[in-house]
Amino acid sequence: MGFERVVVAGGAGFIGTHLCRRLLDDGAQVVCVDNFATAPRSGIRSLLTRAGFTLVEGDICRPVDLDGPVDLVVNLASPASPHDYARLPVETLLTGSLGTHHLLNLAQRTSARFVLASTSEVYGDPLEHPQRESYRGNVNPVGPRSMYDEAKRFAEALTVAFAGRTGLSVGIARLFNCYGPGLRPDDGRAVPTFIWQALHGQPLTVAGDGSQTRSVCYVDDIVDGLIRLSASSHRGPVNLGATEEITIEELARRIRSVAGSAAPIRYVPRPAEDPSVRRPDLDLARSLLGWEPVTTLEEGLARTVDWFRALAEPPAVAVGGPEVDLRRTQPGEVVGGTV
């Protein structure tokens, strides 16, 4: 199933830019909606010259009004780094609630399929390992990560409720830790932080004793999973992530090795309620979508380190840019100024 015109909310973000590029390569017209609250404007620049690409600068917490047909709406809009959602707690919650509702309404008006990019954070600090989609999670609703966790949990509940009332075709993907070219060096998550530190001879700051585990998945594989879910009729939720589980300390050591760095490892206090383990059960993704990651950790880290080497300095992040009402647009139009 091919897509003719796709709306990608959060399309200027890390995963969003990769998804927009893949959709354009597949022949779709893409409308990218973003307010650049956390996305660097430089990340979207190469897409502006692509035929079929439209940038709409605005906030999905306002109604989304677009002209023309749409056959897929993908909601990737949300701060995703702990640094960002701690800085923007209310905005994160409103994006997951009001923003998701506005995008669901857009999908209903245009008879489009709606796909929500949720997160493994809905499992919290899991008591089940690996995490299956049936696991209800261990989340503190008023904890230091609650603004992100609960925004995504509410977005999932709203998506299912909306579909039940309207019959809208929806899909929910729970994305586990994702990395690759395009991550901000100042993102705050482990992979970009370790790479930037290793390349600049700075100590790699490992939280706690580094024994907590993650399963990091290369961005191209995540995008492929999103495309497969979008092209299906499955509602989900479906886990998308890597199955190789690695401690944070070992991840730091591997990145240091790939970067050819002799930087030391420095242990720093572990953030409150930092999950101890994280690994997806992929049985559903395999059976429903025929999907599993194909990029090895070594391959993915090498590509990501090469991308970071080319950066002279961390790109400036435009935070709280000009507010622009979402309005009717024409293909190829850039709304809200150039990038």
Report yes or no on 210 lying in a domain: no
Whole-prediction pTM: 0.92
Q: Average model confidence (pLDDT) for the chain?
A: 91
What lies within 8 Å, CB to CB, of 222 at 6+ separation is 15, 18, 175, 178, 240, 241
What lies within 8 Å, CB to CB, of 251 at 6+ separation is 190, 191, 194, 214, 216
- CATH number of the domain to which 25 belongs: 3.40.50.720
Report yes or no on 188 lying in a domain: no
Q: Is the pLDDT of residue 171 over 90?
A: yes
Residue 1: is it exposed, middle or buried by C-beta count within 10 angstroms (0-12/13-18/19+)? exposed
Q: What's the number of domains the chain is made of?
A: 1
Report yes or no on 187 lying in a domain: no
Report yes or no on 91 lying in a domain: yes
Alpha-carbon gap, residue 181 to 71, rounded angstroms: 28
Find out whether 297 and 246 touch, Cβ atoms under 8 Å. yes
Residue with tokens 């990395």: 179
Tokens linked to 145: 């990560």
% of the chain with per-residue pLDDT over 70: 91
Question: What are the pLDDT digits (tens) for 8-21?
Answer: 999 999 999 999 99
Question: What are the pLDDT digits (tens) for 47-75?
Answer: 999 999 999 999 999 999 999 999 999 99
For residue 311, the model assigns a pLDDT of: 85
Active-site annotation, residues: 148
Report yes or no on 163 lying in a domain: yes
Tell me how far the alpha carbon of residue 242 is from its chain's centroid: 15
For residue 313, the model assigns a pLDDT of: 57
Report yes or no on 76 lying in a domain: yes
Report yes or no on 201 lying in a domain: no
Nearest to 255 by CA among 202, 211, 182, 293: 202
Question: What are the pLDDT digits (tens) for 269-326?
Answer: 999 889 999 999 999 999 999 999 999 999 999 999 999 999 855 544 433 333 333 3
The residue segments making up the domain with residue 156 are 5-177+219-241+279-294+315-335
Report yes or no on 191 lying in a domain: no
Question: What are the pLDDT digits (tens) for 236-269?
Answer: 999 999 999 999 999 999 999 999 999 999 999 9
Q: Is the pLDDT of residue 81 over 70?
A: yes
User: Nearest-5° angle of CA 122, CA 128, CA 132?
Assistant: 65
